[in-house]
Amino acid sequence: MSTSRRFPNEHFMNRELSLLAFNRRVLAQAADDCVPLLERLRFLCIVSSNLDEFFEIRVAGLKEQIKLGSHATGADGMQPQDVYRRVTVQAHELISEQYALLNDVILPALAGEGIAFLRRSLWNDVQREWIRDFFVNEVMPVLTPIGLDPSHPFPRVLNKSLNFAVELEGTDAFGRSSGAAIVQAPRALPRVIRLPKELSGVDYGFVFLSSILHEFVGELFTGMNVLGCYQFRVTRNSDLFVDDEEVKNLRIALQGELPQRHFGDAVRLEIADNCSATMADFLLQQFGLDLSDLYRVPGIVNLVRLMSVPDQVERPDLMYAPFQAGLPKVLAKRYDIFASIRKHDILMHHPFQSFSPVIQLLQQASEDPQVIAIKMTVYRTGTDSVLMEHLLRAAEKGKEVTVVVELMARFDEEANLSIAARLEEVGAHVVYGVVGYKTHAKMLMVLRREEHGYRRYIHLGTGNYHPRTTRFYTDFGLLTANPEIGDDVNEVFKQLTGLGKASALKHLWQAPFSLHSNMLAAIRGETEAALSGKPARIIAKMNSLLEPEIITALYEASAAGVTVDLIVRGVCSLRPGVKGLSENIRVRSVIGRFLEHHRIFYFHANGKQNIYLSSADWMERNFFRRIEISFPVLEPKLKQRVLKEGLKPYLADNSQAWEMNGNGEYRIKPTKRSRISAQDLLLADLGTSIVSAS
């Protein structure tokens, strides 16, 4: 059948608008009475964190295109200027809803639970004295007020830092009267300060740093009159640019670029809603921004800083119940990790099941004299990762340790540079993959000398080697000693560390070589089966769906009668349920306690039920500009586990699953059936609740 037909622009959703729609679904968690109160506060903060990155990367990219006069369009046909206008309107609406939820719902509810944020106007004399002492002793010594005059130009303002614009009248000791000053709050200062219980009058009383500075900023300008003090925060373009064709040493080039990230072009200005029009116009002029880039907010300008509050409050009744991650049955008792993997493949489902077997594999590998070599990819792992400690120990013991570190992992570049330096110090081989292609594949290979020769032990995953995020992200990990899988993984490592042509792999689908073509072939195989009157089914779970050829193939599959279920957490450019286009496609997004992160691809395949797990979403960057892998689940019992745990619960979810319609709108459909939550079911089946002693 022909696959060259291109669908019209209106058959594709815009990426940026879809991202904002995703953040509306996250904000809905903060508004949900069924979610514990402190967790609702966290979700509110997550929206702010997401929007920061949205402006730093996506909006910054749009503004760059507009500045260059670009009229390039994506599959949706929208030009950058059109996208920017619509994004600006929707972002303003979303942020207004976010602050209304915070001020009118969440903060009053927290106050009702004895968790209060004390307003300046309500401080009593005793509280004010304590807060002033805190300002004098802890805050004022680290502040540097900058008066604006010809010898003190407007200071460089760090990306996302807290600052105050102060309007003044009068003259100083030198007779200067510029009328304005800037006070920058050092990042070392806490943004939320807890008062002693006996002073606050509640169990947990907090004061914002911004409130303290507003109240006492006059003490920084002796003899002058403060007319106004307004907090502000600027968001800057944080995408790093490294010229792939010119760069000689990626590590050195990146080290040169990183310091500039804090001072990229401004893309958004957030100010207090009481800021004077004169000061707002002045700040916009300083940052080269338009009125559409100005966000007046009724509260603190950085809600992300509220993320620390739940950790300062001992109220488990206002948080998700803790749980103990389980283990696969084969690992439930004392075990030898190598013997267990030799016996049969082991599938782990995080965070419901523990990540500890992966740590155990590296630990035993670092200590086992029979282990000769360890190879691993690192995308995000954290600066204090226990996995890195085991790799360091293995290298110190003389084992051949090779680590492929992705230096261009956004916002983890500095951590990865630090990891690379530490590994090199102990003699590990550190490589940075292939310039121009991010290494996003999650692979670990241990080479062990055994009775009948060398054997490879492999871990493949859908998520990062980051022990902290494995407690919050849903991911699958596979441990295997399958020799053909081992050959494939070894071949991919050869490509990453050496030179040579790509060889055909037996089981793995690899980007940028075979992943896209194999996914298309699998989709088209279901299309051909449906046209022949045979059963056909596709179920795919991922973070993002954007790639036009894949979407086109799915539309054609739908037209042929294939039942297509897509579980897409975030951005989705496909329009489901459109008559004559996608009647047989359903798209849902599950937002809950854990971040849905695994990528699972199921094809009926004439009854063979082929299942692939992957590090890659269905996006152009994953198919063509990254090194990714998709690996099959070969053992029948494990296939059934993936179906039972990774797909069916999400298709049955009626409490946290948002259904998407053809206009890109998401709704949780009301139901009279009993409440089904995929994440709750998996916690009950795979984890163990921790019951409080009380």
Catalytic sites, residue numbers:
440
The DSSP 8-state label assigned to residue 642 in this structure reads I
Element (DSSP H or E) covering residue 309 = helix 309-312
Sign, Cα dihedral of 344, 543, 566, 604: negative
Residue 595: φ, ψ to 5°: -80, 115
Q: Answer whether the bond into residue 351 is a cis peptide, omega within 30°.
A: yes
Strands 595-596 and 473-480: parallel
Contacts of 531 (CB under 8 A, 6+ apart): 1, 560, 561
DSSP 436: T
Q: Return the H-helix or E-strand segment holding 612.
A: strand 610-614
Burial of 76 (0-12, 13-18, 19+ CB in 10 A): buried
Helix (H, G, I), strand (E, B) or coil at 585: strand
Cis? peptide before 328, omega within 30° of 0 = no
User: Do 328 and 337 form a contact (C-beta atoms < 8 A)?
Assistant: no
Enclosing H/E stretch for 460: strand 453-461
- Joined together, the tokens standing for residue 85 give 């206008």
Closest CA to 343 of 364, 325, 323, 329: 329
Nearest to 202 by CA among 123, 281, 114: 114
Q: What are phi and psi of 626, to 5 degrees?
A: -135, 160
Burial of 156 (0-12, 13-18, 19+ CB in 10 A): exposed
Tell how far CA 282 is from the center of its chain: 34
The token pair at 454 is 């060398």
Structure tokens belonging to residue 504? 């055909």
Structural tokens at position 527: 């299309």
**Buried-exposed string 647-665: b where 16+ CB fall within 10 A, e elsewhere:** bebbeebbbbbbbbebebe
Q: What angle do CA 633, 356, 641 make, to 5 degrees?
A: 30
Place of tokens 């304590």: 130
For the chain, the distance separating the N- and C-terminal CA atoms, rounded to the nearest angstrom, is 66
Count Cα neighbours of 537 within 13 Å in the Cβ-side half-sphere: 13
SS3 588: strand
Tokens of 568: 């897409």
Which stretches does DSSP call E strand in 311-439? Answer: 323-324, 346-350, 371-378, 400-405, 429-431, 438-439
Q: Going by C-beta distance under 8 Å and a sequence separation of 6 or more, which residues neighbour residue 550?
A: 516, 519, 520, 523, 618
The secondary structure of the chain in percent helix, strand, coil, rounded to multiples of 5, reads 40, 25, 35
456 forms beta bridges with 447
Give CA separation, 554 vs 115, 542, 561, 657, in Å: 50, 15, 11, 21
Phi–psi pair at 557, nearest 5 degrees = -65, -45
Task: For residue 305, give both structure tokens.
Answer: 């800083």
Contacts of 500 (CB under 8 A, 6+ apart): 494
User: Within 10 A of 268 (CB to CB), how many other CB atoms are there?
Assistant: 26
DSSP-assigned letter for residue 227: E
